[in-house]
Every structure is written in C-alpha cells, then in structure tokens.
C-alpha cells in the first residue's frame, strides 16, 4: 500500500478514448468516454495494490471532459489495461508497485473503470447537476447510482428528486428515481410516482418531421457531452402516480407523460380533480396544457363524476 499527501495536486490516469457501445449523442452527466480522467485531492492519496484501488481524501475531485465529480472522498477502482489492437501487452509492474521509469505506483499499466464518491457528492457539467451522499459511477456502462438524503438531478428545463435511489444511464439517456420520485418542470408542471423513469433527448434534437441540421451529427459525435444539456422526452410512473398543473391534479396507479405534447395517460383507479370537482374512472387522457381530461371506460369500474356548483370554472388546484 502506497500513501502520498498532496495539496489538490492532479493525477492523470490513462483511459480508453471510447467504448464501442457508446452512442454518438451521449450527453448529460456522462463520464463514460472521452479523454483521460484528472484526479485532485487535498489531503492523502492511498494506493492499495492488492485491492487495485486509489483513495483520495480530504475533499477530492475527478474531471473528465466537462463533467466533474466532487466529494469528501473519492475511490478509483483500477484494472489491468488491455493493449491496443496490434500492440503487445505492457511489461509487468515490479513487486514494489512502482514503475521503473516513472515512479508512478500504478506503473502506467492500470486503467480507471469505476469511481465511488462518498460524502457531499456533487456531479456536474456546464448545464446539469446532481447531488447525493454516495455515488457509484461505472465508466464502462455509463451508469451513475446515487443514494442518500435530498437526492436531486437538475437541468435547465426540469428538476428530478427522489427519496431512496437515483440512477442516470447516459447511454440510453434514462434517469430513474425510486421512492417518492418527482419531476418538476420550469413551467410548474409536476409528475410524481413511487418509481419514475424518464428519458431525455438532446436539446438541439430536430422536431418530429424535421431533419438534422447540416453538420449537426458531426458536431455531436466529436463532443463527448453530445453538444450540451438534454431535455426530457417522456416519463413513466408506477405506483401512486400524481400529475399536477397550477389548476388540476390527476392520480392513478401507473402512467406515461410526453413532455412535448404535454399529454399524459393514466391507468388504474384514476381520479382527476379541479377545485372540488372530481372525475373517477379506470383510465384517462390528460392534456396538461389545456387542462382538459378525457375519462375512458374500463372493465373494473364505471366513470363517475362530482360537479360542485360554482366550481365548474374553478382554477384552484387542491393542496
């Protein structure tokens, strides 16, 4: 085991430049491909040759491209670096764990494939941010899993929170919130569920029926962050699904919401409430832009409604 102290000194670790399954438009909080990772720390670096880990303490930072991870402690998990096609395997690291040429305890033969962040975790790029108490980032899969209190992911368009676990899958642009998960948009609309799975798309993606702008694909493929922030495309909810607008609340057992059209479909024990007025049924199509909800017949229960006098045009949503 090797220990070194530093005052926020950088350590460069070699990494593959790309992974074959990484999409050209990968974006969001993504460290799965790009240049080498730079590691910074304030107190001590501990390299465990047997466990193949490097631990940075006292406040640490990992930077790759324009994505940064800050935490009280960072643990980098290392493995033997596979030789590039057509190249021979690197020379074995000496028994003392030091390279004969550089003094680097990793000997240039190991690569970083996973980062664990502990305490006051903050991961961010130029537009998106995430917070938690603990995070694990798998660089091969492009998957981040965060746990702890006050879990949050933010983009310029929306905020995702969860109580238990929050996941971000960069290759599929999928965010998962588990436990009282909520997506809140800038215009006040809200989708809430026990489990909420949302998919995003690049903010400069062409509208339906339109083609990509000339040169857009080339620009995205050269940028490991896919050209900037992403915007939500759709969200799926399971368990106690709640949709809120400034004037209306709709609930159901499960549902899907499309952000571009602002239309949601709810299934199972559906209740649509505006003021004291309420419609109940097994299915509903809810237009959160116009405030119009269409109740659909189902097999488990008939459509029922309650209209209170002087409430038909109420704009007050229940609290």
- Residue range 7-26: average pLDDT? 31
Span of 13-17, 173-177, 239-243, 269-273 with lowest mean pLDDT:
13-17
pLDDT in tens, 84-138: 666 665 555 454 544 443 444 444 577 889 999 999 999 998 888 999 999 999 9
Q: What is the pLDDT of residue 263?
A: 93
Residue 292 forms part of a structural domain: no
Distance CA 21, CA 195 (A): 27
Residue 153 forms part of a structural domain: yes
Residue 302 forms part of a structural domain: no
12, pLDDT greater than 60? no
45, pLDDT greater than 50? yes
Q: What is the pLDDT of residue 215?
A: 42
Residue 263 forms part of a structural domain: no
pTM above 0.75, yes or no: no
User: pLDDT band at 274, cuts 50/70/90?
Assistant: confident
Q: What is the pLDDT of residue 121?
A: 96
pLDDT in tens, 162-173: 999 999 998 888
**Residue 300 CB contacts under 8 Å (≥ 6 apart), including other chains:** 268, 282
Residue 310 forms part of a structural domain: no
Paired sense of beta strands 165-169 and 230-244, if any: unpaired
Q: What is the pLDDT of residue 216?
A: 41
Instruction: Provide the domain limits for residue 226.
Output: 2-244
Residue 139 forms part of a structural domain: yes
Domains identified in the chain, total number: 1
Burial 248-273 (b: 16+ CB within 10 A, else e): bbbbbbbbbbebeebbbbbbbbbbbb
Q: What is the pLDDT of residue 105?
A: 46
Distance CA 318, CA 304 (A): 19
Distance CA 261, CA 288 (A): 9
Residue 199 forms part of a structural domain: yes
CATH number, domain with residue 67: 2.60.450.10
Residue 132 forms part of a structural domain: yes
pLDDT in tens, 134-153: 999 998 888 999 999 889 99
Distance CA 28, CA 127 (A): 8
Q: What is the pLDDT of residue 33?
A: 57
25, pLDDT greater than 60? no
**Residue 131 CB contacts under 8 Å (≥ 6 apart), including other chains:** 121, 122, 146, 150, 151, 152
- Residue range 214-231: average pLDDT? 40
Separation in Å, CA 33 to CA 27, 77, 229: 10, 16, 17
pLDDT in tens, 232-266: 899 999 999 999 887 888 999 999 999 899 899 99
Q: Which of 87, 13, 76, 89 is nearest to 45 (CA)?
A: 76
- DSSP string of 71-128? ESEEEEEEEEPPPPTT-PPPPPPPTTS--TTT--TTTT-EEEEEEEEEEEEEEE-SS-
DSSP state of 214: T
Paired sense of beta strands 304-306 and 277-287, if any: antiparallel
């Amino acid at each position: 085991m090797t220990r070194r102290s530093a005052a926020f000194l950088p350590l460069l670790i070699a990494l593959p430049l790309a992974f074959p399954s990484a999409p050209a438009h990968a974006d969001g909080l993504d460290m799965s491909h790009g240049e080498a990772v730079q590691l910074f720390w304030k107190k001590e670096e501990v390299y465990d040759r047997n466990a193949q880990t490097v631990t940075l303490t006292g406040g640490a930072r990992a930077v790759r491209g324009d994505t940064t991870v800050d935490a009280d402690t960072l643990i980098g998990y290392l493995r033997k670096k596979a030789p590039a096609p057509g190249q021979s395997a690197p020379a074995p690291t000496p028994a003392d764990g030091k390279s004969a040429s550089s003094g680097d305890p990793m000997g240039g033969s190991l690569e970083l494939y996973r980062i664990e962040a502990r305490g006051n975790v903050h991961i961010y790029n130029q537009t998106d941010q995430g917070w938690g108490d603990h995070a694990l980032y798998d660089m091969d899969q492009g998957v981040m899993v965060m746990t702890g209190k006050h879990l949050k992911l933010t983009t310029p368009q929306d905020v995702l929170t969860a109580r238990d676990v929050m996941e971000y899958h960069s290759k599929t642009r999928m965010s998962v919130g588990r436990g009282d998960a909520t997506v809140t948009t800038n215009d006040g609309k809200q989708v809430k569920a026990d489990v909420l799975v949302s998919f995003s798309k690049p903010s400069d993606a062409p509208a339906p029926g339109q083609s990509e702008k000339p040169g857009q694909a080339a620009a995205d493929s050269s940028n490991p962050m896919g050209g900037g922030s992403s915007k939500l495309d759709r969200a799926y909810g399971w368990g106690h699904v709640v949709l809120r607008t400034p004037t209306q609340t709709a609930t159901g057992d499960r549902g899907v919401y499309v952000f571009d059209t602002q239309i949601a479909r709810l299934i199972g024990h559906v209740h649509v409430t505006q003021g004291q007025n309420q419609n109940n049924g097994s299915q509903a199509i809810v237009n959160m832009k116009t405030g119009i909800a269409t109740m659909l017949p189902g097999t488990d229960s008939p459509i029922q409604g309650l209209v209170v006098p002087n409430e038909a045009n109420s704009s007050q949503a229940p609290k």
